[in-house]
Chains A and B, each alone.
Chain A
Amino acid sequence: MRSESTIRDKAAIAGIGQTRFAKSLGMSEYEMAVEAIFAACEDAGISPREIDGLVRYDMEQTDEEQLLSVLGNPLLRFFAGTAWGGGGSASVLVVAASAIASGMAETVLVFRSRARGKQSSYGKDPKQGGRYWEKLATSLPGLNQWHVPQGLVSAFQEMAMISMRHRIDYGTTDDHYADVAIAFREHAMRNPNAVMRAPMTRADHHASRMIADPLRLFDCNIETDGAVAFIVTTTERARDLRQPPAVILSGAMAAGSHHIRLSTLFERSWEEDSPVRVAKQLYEMAGVKPREIGAAFFYDFFTSLVIIGLEQYGFAPRGEGGPFAADGGLSWQGGRLPCNTNGGQLSEAFIHGFNNTSEAVRQIRGTSTSQVEGCDLVLVAGGNTDPTGAVILRRL
């Protein structure tokens, strides 16, 4: 795997930019995207006109057509979208790095803009966005037809069923879930950009209302408005730009285990599950072991899926993600593995994983508000569903 033909070390994140994060910003997704993109260009020290590639989610509503003119009509020569929702939050970087490694583009914009706050989604003048599942048609094509009519309408209910099975198999508890939620809240309290900064106790977690058993409100990501953008370029070029580069040491993608919609997930073995396959590919390309990772960013849509992610990415033995998270296991200071040091999507903001990637870059730069000492390698995992992807970032 470690040959010239992979994306290993070929590309780096040279700029990060974001809007404020809030329950409601009163902006459209288009406006927020533009603000984050200009901030990322400024951070990298480039003009938007230098962008020649673009990668976004295929569900992103701000498309190339809307963006190009407001970026000064850059001469785009590569563009792509990745499937599917949060599972793709690191895959976008893998695609960008692939374009750069193959010479199809040199300076790639990667972004996500989401109006998910209640006011933005439901107000008198919705600013776009909202929740995928609330816009389901009444006549369902495809796999949705098999569970939506039964009342299983959203990802959080599907993930609740996966989480319940993890409890059945391994005895994972509410306390383990609280360990994740509290650790990330403590990180958010140190981060002025975070939306949720009030202290959370174990009792607060257990008292929060049940949403879909076994998931409580405080096990779920928050809903916010905001946008995040990255400038990814060749490692050589990144070296000469304004910020210390976060080099993409390795990246991987996998699809086929059918997490989403639960269609055939439970018929697959652990090893066949896409996040487990991604982890294997990722470490092989990087030539590193999980224990060498200084900080990790899991796609924390739910506390339980962070616990499962710890197992899938080889930090805890299978079934022992819960105990791994206990006793401050995920804390920025003294944790077994500092995770989501921005507060994650549970407490900072929910920009479909992109805000976690920004914080991963800050850890590499040494500028986090919860900076992990000696943090040379950082894992960023996309939503551990299917399809999914992940990257390992390193200092130059």
Chain B
Amino acid sequence: MAGDDQGGREGTPASSQRSQHLTRTLPLPQPSRDNAEFYAAAARGELRFQRCTPCLRFRHYPRPVCPYCLSRDFTWEPSSGRGAVYTWTIVRGPTLPAFEDRLPYNVVDVLMDEGVHFQSELLDCPPEEIHAGMRVEATFVLVTDDVTLVKFRRGA
């Protein structure tokens, strides 16, 4: 749960002239009615997705209508937290100053067992070991007092 490597602080400017135009602090979600449940669950260490009541399909990102059946009835259901790497990149820079001290870092697209895609970071995994189909599971990283981000670790 430690946020040591999560960059939740002022980034180190690469060059002062360049950085004065750039975002220096970690960009974070802006609270809204659509996302409140997701982040409240994450703060409790739970990954939850919206699930359509009539057609039972999960969806992510959160939105008020099911894109498949157009129903507005849904619940927030717990995810298994498990999935497989669908694609990824290793960011080697440039990037925002908030992330510069972490370069190189990965971003993964995980196909969750519930059928939704989720973009995140795979923690404690060297770039050369990431591969398509790799099993991963969700973990939770507190980045500020108010925001917990969902990350991943190698899993079953």
Chain A residues at the B interface, C-beta cutoff of 8 Å: 121-122, 124, 126, 130, 133-141, 143-154, 157, 160-162, 164-165, 168, 209-215, 262-264, 266-267
Contact B96 A134, beta carbon cutoff 8 Å:
yes
Q: Which 10 A-B residue pairings sit nearest by Cβ, starting from the closest?
A: A145-B29, A160-B89, A165-B87, A213-B90, A147-B119, A152-B107, A139-B30, A168-B132, A212-B89, A164-B87
Known: A136-B27, A161-B89, A213-B127. A266 touches B96 (CB 8 A): no
Query: Most chain-A Cβ atoms within 10 A of its Cβ — which of B17, B18, B26, B87?
Result: B87
* Distance, CA A4 to CA B8, complexed state (A): 59
Question: Is there an interface contact between A148 and B27, defined as CB atoms closer than 8 Å?
Answer: yes
List B residues at the A interface (Cβ < 8 Å). Answer: 17-18, 21-23, 25-30, 32, 35, 61, 67, 86-96, 99, 102, 105, 107, 109, 111, 115-117, 119-121, 127, 132, 143, 147, 149, 151
Contacts of B119 in A (CB 8 A): 146-147, 150, 152, 262
CB distance from A367 to the nearest CB of B (A): 37
**Contact between A139 and B28, CB atoms less than 8 A apart:** yes
User: Which residues in B have their C-beta under 8 angstroms from that of A126?
Assistant: 21
- Known contacts A143-B61, A145-B29: A157-B23 contact under CB 8 Å: no
In-complex Cβ contact of B102 among A124, A151, A168, A263 (8 A): A151
* Contact with B92, one of A122, A135, A140, A211 (Cβ below 8 angstroms): A211
Given A149-B28, A152-B89, A264-B67, 10 new contacts (CB under 8 A):
A122-B18, A133-B96, A139-B30, A145-B30, A150-B121, A151-B99, A151-B102, A213-B88, A214-B89, A267-B117
For A137, what are the chain B residues with a Cβ–Cβ distance below 8 Å?
23, 27
With contact pairs A130-B21, A139-B28 given, residues A151 and B91 touching in the complex (Cβ less than 8 Å): yes
B118 to chain A, nearest CB (A): 8
Q: Decide yes or no: A151 and B121 within 8 Å by CB, A130-B21, A213-B127 being known contacts.
A: yes
- A164 and B96: CB pair below 8 A? no
B87 pairs with A162, CB closer than 8 A: yes
Residue of B with least CB distance to A162: B87
| B30 and A121 contacting across the interface, CB-CB below 8 Å | no
Chain A nearest CB: distance from B97 CB in Å? 9
Question: Separation in Å of the B39 CB from the closest CB of chain A?
Answer: 9
- Closest residue of chain B to A118 (Cβ to Cβ) is B18
Which residue on chain A has the smallest CB distance to residue B19? A122
| Residues of B contacting A168 in the complex (Cβ-Cβ under 8 angstroms) | 87, 132
What are 30 contact pairs spanning A and B, CB under 8 A? A122-B21, A126-B21, A133-B96, A134-B21, A135-B22, A136-B27, A136-B96, A138-B23, A138-B27, A139-B27, A140-B30, A144-B27, A145-B28, A147-B107, A147-B119, A149-B143, A150-B120, A150-B149, A151-B99, A152-B107, A153-B27, A160-B89, A161-B87, A161-B88, A164-B88, A165-B87, A168-B132, A211-B94, A215-B89, A262-B119
Residue among A134, A149, A209, A264 with max Cβ neighbours from chain B (10 Å):
A149
In whole Å, how far is B18's beta carbon from the nearest beta carbon of chain A? Answer: 5
Tell whether A134 pairs with B27 under 8 Å between CB atoms, given A146-B61, A264-B117.
no
Q: In the bound complex, do residue B23 and residue A141 qualify as a contact, i.e. CB atoms below 8 Å apart?
A: no
Report B-chain residues with C-beta under 8 Å of the C-beta of A152.
89, 91, 107, 119
A161–B87 alpha-carbon span in the complex (Å): 6
Q: Check B87 against A210 for contact (C-beta < 8 Å).
A: no
With A130-B21, A138-B26, A140-B29 as known contacts, state yes or no: A145 contacts B35, CB within 8 Å.
yes
Nearest Cβ in chain A — how far from B38, in angstroms? 9
**In contact, B92 and A213 (Cβ under 8 angstroms):** yes
Q: Can you name the residue of chain B whose Cβ is closest to the Cβ of A153?
A: B96
Q: How far is the CB of A117 from chain B (nearest CB, A)?
A: 13
For A146, the closest partner residue in chain B by CB is B61
Task: State A200–B8 Cα separation when bound (angstroms).
Answer: 41
Contacting residue for A157 out of B27, B89, B121, B132, CB 8 A? B89
CA distance A313 to B21 in the complex (A): 39
Cβ 8 A contact of A213, one of B17, B18, B89 = B89
> What residue in chain B is nearest A151 (Cβ atoms)?
B99
Q: How far is the CB of A262 from chain B (nearest CB, A)?
A: 6
Find chain B residues with CB under 8 A from A160 CB.
Answer: 89
- Chain A CB within 10 A, most for which of B21, B22, B91, B120: B91
In the bound assembly, the distance between CA atoms of A264 and B63 in angstroms comes to 12
Nearest-neighbor residue (CB-CB) of A131 within chain B? B94
Alpha-carbon gap, A104 to B64, bound state (A): 37
B131 CB, min distance to chain A CBs, angstroms: 9
Q: Indicate if the CB atoms of B149 and A266 lie closer than 8 Å.
A: no
Our pick among B23, B90, B132 for the contact of A210 (Cβ within 8 Å) is B90
Distance in angstroms between the alpha carbons of A134 and B107 in the assembled complex: 18
B120 proximity list for chain A (CB < 8 A): 150
